Amino acid sequence: MPPSKAEYRIFSASADPLGEERYPLALVHWDGTELRYAARDRVPSALEKEERALARVLRAMRRRVRELPATQLDMGLDTIFDVRAGDGGATAWSTKRIAMTRDAADHFSRLVSDLHLAQLRDAASSIGRAEVVDAVHTLGTLLAKTHRNVHPDHTVHEFDQLRSPMSWLNGSWVHTVPLVVSSTVGAHEAVRKVAATLELAVPRKHRLVVAYPTPADDSVGRELLRGVAHLATNNPPEDGDTARVRGVALPLTADDEIDTSALQTLVLAELRTAP
């Protein structure tokens, strides 16, 4: 098979106003037949302050990839993907790059690996940690307007630090932590990260709610639930009947938006019974 042309662009951001060090966040790849997309499933720590802004940019970009008519792609990637300079920390697209390849899918996969991105397989597996943080923080900001015990963007310290997108006070503190399974972070690894956060950053008398997008793969979902149940069993509460670790699923709406209604119900129920 003779080589054929594939074009691609890389979307990146910089925490440095001069843009000297850039972090790849997304990739679009077009071989004349298939449009492929990948994105970072966790924003680099250097861009943490821009995490929610970047989540919104990446969410809009993912939706555009899904909805883009193939006829528009004939115009080329350099004309149909754009973002305002400065959105989410000095963001920018690279110029269009051309590669000659005999296997476009393999070329895309190698780029994804080199850039440390995660491939978009379906809506659930494409949700990154930053998007969960943004959705939970948005809920916290809304609830904080009418409930003084709700605190969006709350930080706690022990040996390590947890920056919770939403915490609330119900006799004791309850913090949220995202748990996201992707093509680069499996269920076991994701649960281990939460376990490390619980052990190193969360005070013993505080509680944790693990907020996770519902995986599209049932087997991954079962493994994730098993991991959350293990955390709950092995971290009994200091006092009271409420488990120290609980999980709340965040399903996707028909528009691929994160549905936080179950989490909202849990928070409001606890606030009603707060001492």
pLDDT band at 85 (very low <50, low <70, confident <90, very high): very low
Highest mean pLDDT among 65-74, 138-147, 206-215: 138-147
- What global pTM score does this model have? 0.67
- Give the Å distances, CA to CA, from 259 to 43, 72, 133, 144, 175: 21, 31, 13, 18, 18
Q: What is the pLDDT, as a whole number, of residue 122? A: 45
Domains, the chain, ranges and CATH?
4-120 (no CATH), 129-272 (3.40.1350)
**Could you tell me what percent of the chain has a pLDDT over 70?**
83
Q: What is the tens place of the pLDDT at every residue in 180-201? A: 876 556 778 888 888 888 888 8
> pLDDT tens across 61-70, in order?
777 777 776 6
Lowest mean pLDDT among 68-77, 89-98, 157-166, 184-193: 68-77
Residue with the bigger pLDDT between 33 and 174: it is 174
The mean pLDDT of the chain is 80
Confidence of residue 260 (pLDDT cuts 50, 70, 90): very high
Q: In this predicted structure, what is the pLDDT of residue 124? A: 47
Q: What is the pLDDT of residue 185?
A: 64
